[in-house]
Amino acid sequence: MLNFFSDVNCEGCRKTECQLYKNCLVRNCIKDKNIDFCFQCTDFPCKNTGFDEHLEQRWIKINKRMKKIGLEKFYSETKNLSRY
């Protein structure tokens, strides 16, 4: 896992398949629905993530926050926080 976190070649899950969460279903779902974020979907929150319960709860919290305050404010609010 340390190798994954230290890999500077990760382009993000929108460009390549996730190397960390092999069971992630979000990438294909947002592509199929032609949306950028899960909170934009009428089915949000759903159980179609492939995440374990802890990651799923974090994912729901993040998406709800983005929906509430908007993407630009969410970015400003979180850009300097560690991701892992």
The per-residue pLDDT for range 19-57, each reduced to its tens digit, is 777 788 998 899 999 999 999 999 999 988 999 999 899
| C-alpha–C-alpha distance, residues 14 and 66, integer Å | 17
Residue 78: both structure tokens together = 């979180």
Instruction: Calculate the average pLDDT of the chain.
Output: 86
* Residue 20 neighbours by CB under 8 Å, 6+ apart: 1, 4
pLDDT at 82: 78
HSE-CB at 69 with a 13 A cutoff on CA atoms is 12
The model carries a pTM of 0.79
| C-alpha–C-alpha distance, residues 25 and 70, integer Å | 24
